[in-house]
Chains A and B, each alone.
Chain A
Amino acid sequence: ILNVEQSPQSLHVQEGDSTNFTCSFPSSNFYALHWYRWETAKSPEALFVMTLNGDEKKKGRISATLNTKEGYSYLYIKGSQPEDSATYLCASDYGQNFVFGPGTRLSVLP
């Protein structure tokens, strides 16, 4: 069974701080890397889908990079806000067989 890892497991930051998380995945037979934002009592919502080595995607204050050769992706949040508090999931896609990481739980303190 393929294993996707995320670090840190949880993170507390002050409002205004910038932060980043890591997703590590097996790179053989890799097709795409997905990032999701999951708020408590809601469903996961897609943030980014990246496929190419060196890909960078940005949505507002959130951005992500991808390194398929070494099997990792970074998610960055600039100037964290309390509404950014959520669990951030990454998932590696091996041809529609998705393997999710355990998530990074972010708490942004006002």
Chain B
Amino acid sequence: EAQVTQNPRYLITVTGKKLTVTCSQNMNHEYMSWYRQDPGLGLRQIYYSMNVEVTDKGDVPEGYKVSRKEKRNFPLILESPSPNQTSLYFCASSSAGTETYEQYFGPGTRLTVT
């Protein structure tokens, strides 16, 4: 089954404790992206990647890091989480360079930083 998976689905952590949220897709997609969703705001892009070893900042990259060492994986790293990073996070992937490159979203990770 074609899918985007994220782990963990739920996480409660404390300020300053480094964490990684994993994202993996099995569709051989070139493009992957991370978003955060906060009440009253639309999905906001954090980082995106056009292919292996190619990453770019989205609209809200501060406090986050990403890496793209393999095509299927795109982890989101919070080196020193803060309470304002409490949010619902979505990973998405798509096949770049085709006419209908619709994004497939993962199930979401709800992060709470206390």
CB contact between A43 and one of B59, B99, B100, B105 (< 8 Å): that residue: B105
CB contact between A97 and one of B40, B56, B96, B101 (< 8 Å): that residue: B56
> Chain B residues with Cβ under 8 A from A109's Cβ?
none
Q: How large is the interface on B (under 10, 10 to 19, 20 to 34, 35 or more residues)?
A: 20 to 34
- B106's closest neighbor in chain A, by CB? A43
Q: How large is the interface on A (under 10, 10 to 19, 20 to 34, 35 or more residues)?
A: 20 to 34
Q: Is the CB of A4 within 8 A of B42?
A: yes
Please report which residues of chain B, range 42-75, place their CB below 8 angstroms from some CB of chain A when the two chains form the complex.
42-45, 48, 50, 56, 58-59
CB contact between B43 and one of A46, A97, A100 (< 8 Å): that residue: A100
If A96-B96, A101-B42 are given as contacts, then 13 extra A-B residue pairs at C-beta distance below 8 Å, sorted by A number, are A32-B101, A34-B103, A36-B103, A44-B43, A44-B90, A49-B99, A96-B31, A96-B50, A97-B45, A98-B33, A99-B45, A100-B42, A100-B43
Task: Spell out B's residues near A (CB within 8 Å).
Answer: 31, 33, 35, 40-45, 48, 50, 56, 58-59, 90, 96, 99-108
